[in-house]
């Protein structure tokens, strides 16, 4: 977003602001991805997609070697394109400690996850709150970094105090907006986890 009210400000200010917004957007997207990997009531294929399997001597993510789907709320089915690596994939899934063991029938691998207990749901809710708080802290650090950059630009380009205050206000509005997004994502994930 180019700051139209500050068209007369330097390109350095606009670049700093754009980088800040990109950082916030990336943090929010990363949080969404992290939340997708945490199992709630239904299993998600993202749980196994990043498991690394040795394929011709190269560690390769499972999602690049198989069709992964959910057959029901607790079962993930992994249909490998090359059945020669079935044992290696089963071994990698066992080592990943995903909360269940793979079942290899010679053609596909099934992962049947147990029903979440109340205690486990509380642990997962605590885990997602921690991840969300780490994201908020990182976003606040991004704000501090952009403010430091603006202060350096202020002295180099002799920006007025009013311009700096206006920029600070815009930065805070952006941060507040992204923090609200983090809060919404957290509330949604917590409700999914606690849903029976």
Place of tokens 């994201």: 135
Q: Where are the domains of the chain?
A: 4-37+117-194, 46-112
d(CA 66, CA 45): 11
Place of tokens 């709150």: 129
Mean pLDDT of 76-81: 90
Residue 94 has pLDDT above 50, yes or no: yes
Residue 132 banded pLDDT, cuts 50, 70, 90: very high
Q: What is the pLDDT of residue 72?
A: 85
Do domains 4-37+117-194 and 46-112 share one topology? The answer is: no
d(CA 95, CA 59): 14
Into which CATH architecture does domain 46-112 fall?
Answer: 2-Layer Sandwich (3.30)
The model's pLDDT over 139-191, given as tens digits with 9 standing for 90+, comes to 999 999 999 988 888 888 777 888 888 889 999 999 999 999 999 999 998 98
d(CA 25, CA 106): 43
Q: What is the pLDDT of residue 3?
A: 45
Q: What is the pLDDT of residue 47?
A: 80
Return the ∠ at Cα 147 (arms to 142 and 151), rounded to 5°.
150
Q: What's the chain's Rg over C-alpha atoms?
A: 23
**Across the chain, how many H-helices and E-strands are there?**
5, 6
Mean pLDDT of 56-76: 87
Mean pLDDT of 43-53: 82
Give the domain 4-37+117-194 fold: Topoisomerase I; Chain A, domain 4 (1.10.132)
By three-state DSSP, how is residue 109 classified?
Answer: strand
Residue 49 has pLDDT above 60, yes or no: yes
Q: What is the pLDDT of residue 24?
A: 95
Residue 51 has pLDDT above 90, yes or no: no
Q: What is the mean pLDDT of the chain?
A: 86
Residue 105 banded pLDDT, cuts 50, 70, 90: confident
d(CA 122, CA 177): 28
d(CA 149, CA 142): 11
d(CA 118, CA 103): 26
Q: What is the pLDDT of residue 171?
A: 93
* Tokens representing residue 41 in the block: 């009531």
Q: What is the pLDDT of residue 196?
A: 62
Q: What is the pLDDT of residue 2?
A: 41
């Amino acid at each position: 977003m180019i700051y139209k009210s500050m068209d007369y400000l330097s390109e350095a200010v606009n670049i700093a602001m754009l980088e800040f917004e990109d950082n916030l957007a990336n943090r929010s997207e990363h949080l969404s991805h992290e939340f997708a990997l945490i199992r709630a009531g239904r299993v998600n294929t993202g749980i196994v997609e990043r498991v690394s399997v040795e394929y011709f001597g190269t560690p390769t993510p499972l999602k690049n070697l198989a069709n992964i789907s959910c057959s029901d709320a607790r079962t993930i089915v992994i249909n490998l394109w090359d059945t020669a690596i079935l044992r290696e994939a089963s071994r990698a899934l066992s080592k990943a400690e995903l909360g269940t063991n793979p079942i290899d029938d010679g053609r596909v691998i099934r992962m049947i996850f147990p029903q979440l207990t109340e205690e486990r749901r509380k642990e997962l809710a605590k885990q997602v709150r921690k991840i969300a708080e780490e994201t908020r802290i990182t976003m606040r650090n991004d704000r501090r970094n952009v403010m430091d950059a603006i202060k350096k630009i202020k002295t180099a380009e002799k920006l007025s105090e009013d311009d700096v205050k206006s920029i600070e206000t815009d930065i805070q509005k952006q941060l507040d907006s992204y923090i609200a997004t983090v809060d919404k994502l957290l509330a949604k994930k917590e409700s999914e986890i606690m849903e029976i």
